[in-house]
Amino acid sequence: MSQYGKGIFLDIHGHAHPKARIELGYLLKSRELQQNDQQLNAPDVATRSSIRLLAGRTDLSFAALIRGSTSFGALLEQRGFSCVPSPSSQLEPDDLYFNGGYSTETHGSRDGVGLDAIQMEMPGEYRDTAVKRVEFSRAVSDALGSYFTVHFKLPLDRPDADKLAPPPQQAGPR
């Protein structure tokens, strides 16, 4: 961090909630994420989030950063993984949702220092086989490349990306 002064900490977990989608936690309560864009853009909301520093460096509104076309949720959805919040998926009042825990609080920028942080809670279907885990890992890597280029103005060069090993093959039924 000393060289660049910015970055993202990802805290990745699994969940067993009924809706099979990645829950992206920014330390905001579900009721806050259910608000309209004008309410979500209130200055005090961004300062309570785990991406506070990023929100202060961008020209985008906070709502766009959280659920707009270049949000982390949107970038993962473009790669085939349903997310909330995102442009196409918002939280409903009865939805179960993990908003971020100890690691996101500790390592995120809510206090105005450190890295920005996002907690990722993944449904079983995105992690239940080696093939799915590799597909998901590649999607996250690719989405982070876009996210860093757009929001941090730091391209994540991957000169050997075309040399990555293919996903392992699953053994068929015996």
Pair 14, 22: CB distance under 8 Å: no
Question: pTM to 2 decimals?
Answer: 0.87
Q: What is the pLDDT of residue 1?
A: 46
Q: What is the pLDDT of residue 158?
A: 58
- 116: pLDDT strictly greater than 70: yes
- Residue 172 makes CB contacts below 8 A (sequence gap 6+) with none
The pLDDT tens digits of the residues spanning 9-32 come to 999 999 999 999 999 999 999 999
Give the pairing type, strands 22-25 and 83-84: parallel
Pair 139, 127: CB distance under 8 Å: no
- Other C-beta atoms closer than 10 Å to the C-beta of 47 total 15
The pLDDT tens digits of the residues spanning 57-113 come to 999 999 999 999 999 999 999 999 999 999 999 999 999 999 999 999 999 999 999
Tokens standing for residue 76? 């993962």
Q: What is the pLDDT of residue 156?
A: 79
Q: What is the pLDDT of residue 131?
A: 93
- 126: pLDDT strictly greater than 60: yes
- Residue 127 makes CB contacts below 8 A (sequence gap 6+) with 14, 133, 136
Range 58-88 burial, b when 16+ CB lie within 10 A, else e: bebebbbbbbbebbbbbbbbbbebbbbbbbe
